[in-house]
Chain A
Amino acid sequence: MNTQFQLHDFAGGIHPAQNKVQSTSSPIADAGIPEILILPLSQHIGAQSISLVNVGDTVLKGQLIASSQGFVSANLHAPTSGKITAIGDMSIAHQSGLTGPCIQLTPDQQDTWVECAGIQDYSNVSPDTLLHTIQQAGIVGMGGAGFPTHVKASAATGSIETLILNAAECEPYITADDMLMQEHAIEVISGISILAHILKPKTILFGIEDNKPKAIEAVNKALSDLGNVAIKVITIPTKYPSGGEKQLIQILTGKEVPSGGYPSELGIVCHNTGTAFAIHNAVIHGQPLISRITTLTGNACPTPKNYHVLIGTPVEHLLKISNTNIANTSRLVMGGPMMGFTIDQIQTPIVKASNCIIAATQHELPDPAMEQACIRCGMCTEACPAQLLPQQLYWFAKSSNLEQAENHNIADCIECGACSYVCPSNIPLVQYYRFAKGEIKQAHADKLKSDRAKIRFETRLARQEREQAEKEAKRAARADAAAKKQAEKKAMVPASDQTTPTADLELLQKKFDAAKTAVTKTKEKISVLQAAEQIDSSKIELMEGALEKAKAKMKDAATALASGKKPQDAANVKVASSLLSAAVDIPNKSVADEIEALKQKVLAAQTRVDKAAERYNMAKEQELDTIVAFQTGLDKQQAKLVDAKQALEEFTQQSEEAK
């Protein structure tokens, strides 16, 4: 088939034990209807869907029970008919074993369908209608990620050169796609044809790993039966992780999806086999996505095989119908052994993306061995399909050197687990990278937050400064105005320093009095000394010296006082004259102001009276108990008004008289 087709290789990769034979020996079985179904509201990437039902509601098979919220979200339908028995948090298929909002449906075992109409001939139907149908059917990527299919299909409409069907199924143990192709090749091809009708690609590549010869044969037979020549089946060598979207694109086209980008940027879109089957059911039969094929395998399971499972079926139900020895199961993995996650609650339901359940025994997947030192052997570098340096990332993650981890492109790690698989020192490398990625994400979020806070703070600071400056300017302006006014006043009242001479005179008077007292006291002391006939003449001399000094001081004070009193008289005359002249002019102004102020007061009092009267009237109308209080209030206000009016009149009269 693909003799001429040029295949490319991707870097690294590993060849773990396949363990696929166990579950491919018997055909797909029907898992039946379990006693309860648990339907998580978030089985996809994007916004959680919103429940449309209430506890106690009866629903039919295929009925919409939760609708998508926004574009990147998905609808959820009842997988069988029955009654809604609970809505709330239940344990879900989650990496960290968290619980999540779920709708619990108790089937009535009647399995009654709602009416559903398919589009038998979609060739004349517009791509938009088909996309709408896919969206309504709640189809998401069924290879594991659960990305809403309509988003993937519509984001790229018109620009797609290559449509790739990912049937590599590179993880060990999983055979869901293998068996689906073996038993439903025609439906899968129909699904691809619908996608091709929507996307109008130039090439359609059907990539299958060469470890699935029966599936390849079945698909080729179906293609030749249908006479379909548009789809090319490409057999690729078995190497993990060839089924990774980026790796499959590299194998088939030789192109690399840009870091942080999407395949659609290269004109490529990739869909999973199970998704194609679901699209077929949705478009041709009008059936929403309510069941899928899931592999149940592992050594604890006596009859490994694939099952048609209703979405929401608890894992417990599968274990029961397959007689799996739970006591012998040491690890229950949802997904493959390389990228799947363990579940510790057997009630956990199968969701749209659950392709495999491994019930492993202790011997099959032994507990991890003790971690040894990293010797930088570089086997991880050789295995890494993303061409990273896992041994370096390990050191950076371990030492929380996030900057260097980012610089070594930790974001491009697809967490395929190839590095951990080959590590001779049993280091759980992927776990270290998940930790570092989480830390980086948190650091970025924190930085964004702190940047915003910084901007907010700086803006606030700037605003405060501006306001301060404005205030300052206003104050300065006011101060200026005041200073000018003061200057005007000064100019008009030049003798405003009249108080100074008086104060000086008082001071001089006091000094003179003090000197006089000192002279008197000294004289007294001398006379006392003389009277006591003290022979100590030196003391008398000293006293006489002091007396001289005191006399001199008294003289000075007297002179100063006399000279100070003279200008004061002159000043007095000046003050009198200026007072006279001012009396003619200045009081007029202040009187006008005063009148104005009083008028304002009267007006304010009038308003208050009006208001009080209004309240009083209202109280009167409504016959309230508070009427007495209002009466008192009104009286008071009226009295105040009278007072204000009186004050105004008096002042007006006074000023008239003064004039």
Chain B
Amino acid sequence: MKLLNISSPHTTRALSTSHVMLWVLAAMTPGIIALTYFFGPGHLIQIAIAASTALICEAAVMKARKRPILFYLKDYSALLTAVLLAVSLPPYAPYWVTIIASAFSIVVAKHLYGGLGQNPFNPAMVGFALVLISFPVPMTTSWSAPAELMTASISFADAMQVIFSSRETMDAITAATPLDEYKHQVAIATATEIYQNPLFKGTDQSSFVLGWEWVSAAFLLGGIFLIWKKIYTWHIPASLLIALTLCSLIFGWDTDSYVPTTMHLLAGATMVGAFFIATDPVSASTTPLGKIIYGAGIGIFIFVIRTWGAYPDAVAFAVLLMNFAAPFIDQYTQPRTYGHNQPKRGLAAKK
């Protein structure tokens, strides 16, 4: 056998990028189960639509770019993008919304920028933002009421019908998200009055929101698992949640005028955003301090857009805005290297 001549190191850890993607997908399972339990099989269908669209687009682009198709499909990055997008979309959004968002995510947001590792923006959120701006009606009226508020649970057949053909059945199951509801009602009603709406768990003032707290808890669980697995570090989710909490405590202590803190944390896409979207490493800041600034920035933007913006949720826009800032943040947050007294910050001095 010819002796191999190769540069050190000669041994590597058996954890590949594909494994990283699979671990993230695995960590999303509890959240997806919770979503399905409370809102019916809509998300599962959306995942299937988004995933097949994404994989087809990925393969097509790889073919066009003359790259080995299977090798790149097997890194599961397209699949992860699709799943992230699908859980962000309303469960009963029409199929074409999902297809457009998914295709846009992969073809434009990812591959037109150079493919995996090169995209400056979170592809799933680019796709989401596109359809949210382009098709606001189906995007805001396709959430179902939590299962407990419905007389009969949504069957798979019903879900298929709503997504693929008729919007008629939709009226029977549709409901605003609690966050959106509270936000619109708070202008004209007090907290107590708002809580009369069955969307919020009765009137017990706990302000826990039917179903959503379990979904959020499930995503939180998945996120903590990933931190424990050292797939990513605590910096981004922690700073995001802390910043959002602080903002809502400063402004939102008055629940008669603002959305309460607990609802900020548990009623919307905060947890999935903090642990699965903001942590996309490609488009996030990469230095330890940079990650904290990046996460905090997203937290602040989520609060600002939710409170004073027109859209029902804010995670996508907050993440995209901070994506812009990430390369800049990285330049100014270099850690102090061993043997140096000061960290070097900023661009290299021109010689």
Contacts and interface: CB of A to CB of B under 8 A. Distances in A.
Contact of B287 (A331, A389, A421, A426): A389
Contacts of A329: 1, 3
Contact of A425 (B2, B5, B17, B286): B17
A412 B336 CA distance: 11
Given A378-B281, A387-B335, A407-B347, A342 B11 contact: no
A387 B338 contact: yes
B3 A407 contact: no
Contacts of B12: 368, 420-423, 426
B1 A327 contact: yes
B5 A409 contact: no
Contact of B230 (A358, A379, A415): A379
B4 A259 contact: no
Contacts of B180: none
Interface in B60-87: 71, 75, 77
B10, B284, B334 — most chain A CB neighbours (10 Å):
B10
Interface residues of A, number: 79
B6 interface: yes
A246 B339 contact: yes
Contact of B337 (A387, A425, A431): A387
B157 interface: no
A205 B20 CA distance: 41
A246 B1 contact: no
Interface stretch (A187-195, A332-340, A555-563): A332-340
A259 B339 contact: yes
A388 interface: yes
Interface in B315-351: 330, 334-340, 344, 347-349, 351
A377 B232 contact: yes
A172 interface: yes
B17, B71, B77 — most chain A CB neighbours (10 Å):
B17
A338 to B, nearest CB: 5
B13 A422 contact: yes
Interface stretch (B31-39, B114-122, B241-249): B114-122
Given A375-B117, A386-B337, A389-B335, A421 B11 contact: yes
Contacts of A26: none
Given A373-B115, A382-B233, A424-B19, A368 B348 contact: no
B337 A332 contact: no
A643 interface: no
A341 B10 CA distance: 8
Contacts of B334: 389, 408
A184 interface: no
Given A331-B4, A377-B281, A406 B348 contact: yes
A337 B12 CA distance: 9
B206 interface: no
Given A386-B337, A424-B20, A360 B8 contact: no
Given A381-B286, A389-B287, A403-B351, A434 B337 contact: no
A285 B116 CA distance: 63
B117 A376 contact: yes
B165 interface: no
Contacts of B347: 404, 407
Interface in B232-288: 232-233, 281-282, 284, 286-288
B8 A424 contact: no
B254 to A, nearest CB: 39
A555 B77 CA distance: 114
Contacts of B75: 372-373
Given A374-B117, A392-B330, A338 B335 contact: no
Interface string A361-387: 010010111101111111101100111
Contact of B339 (A261, A382, A392): A261
Contacts of A106: none
Interface in A515-574: none
Given A387-B336, A389-B334, A430-B9, A373 B117 contact: yes
Contacts of B4: 330-331, 342, 344, 367
B7 interface: yes
Given A387-B335, A420-B12, A259 B230 contact: no
A148 B288 CA distance: 39
A428 interface: yes
B232 A259 contact: no
Given A377-B20, A409-B340, A330 B3 contact: yes
Nearest to A383: B13
A340 B338 contact: no
A613 B6 CA distance: 81
A375 B1 contact: no
A156 B118 CA distance: 49
A587 interface: no
Contact of A409 (B9, B287, B344): B344
Given A246-B338, A407-B348, A370 B281 contact: no
Interface in A250-266: 250, 256-261
Contact of A431 (B7, B15, B233, B338): B7
B60 to A, nearest CB: 18
A376 B281 contact: yes
A377 B15 CA distance: 12
B4, B231, B286 — most chain A CB neighbours (10 Å):
B4
Nearest to A10: B338
A510 B29 CA distance: 123
B8 A430 contact: yes
B75, B230, B286, B337 — most chain A CB neighbours (10 Å):
B337
A409 B1 contact: no
B26 to A, nearest CB: 15
B118 to A, nearest CB: 7
B286 A392 contact: yes
A379 B77 CA distance: 17
Nearest to A17: B11
B16 interface: yes
Given A246-B338, A257-B338, A375-B20, 18 more contacts: A337-B10, A342-B3, A342-B5, A360-B10, A372-B16, A375-B17, A375-B77, A375-B116, A376-B284, A377-B17, A377-B281, A403-B348, A404-B348, A409-B337, A417-B8, A421-B11, A422-B15, A431-B7
List 3 tightest A-B contacts by C-beta distance, closest first: A417-B9, A373-B117, A407-B348
28 contacts: A14-B13, A261-B339, A329-B3, A330-B1, A331-B3, A338-B9, A340-B10, A341-B7, A342-B6, A342-B10, A343-B3, A365-B11, A372-B116, A375-B117, A376-B284, A377-B17, A381-B335, A386-B338, A387-B335, A404-B347, A404-B348, A407-B349, A409-B344, A415-B8, A421-B9, A421-B13, A425-B17, A431-B7
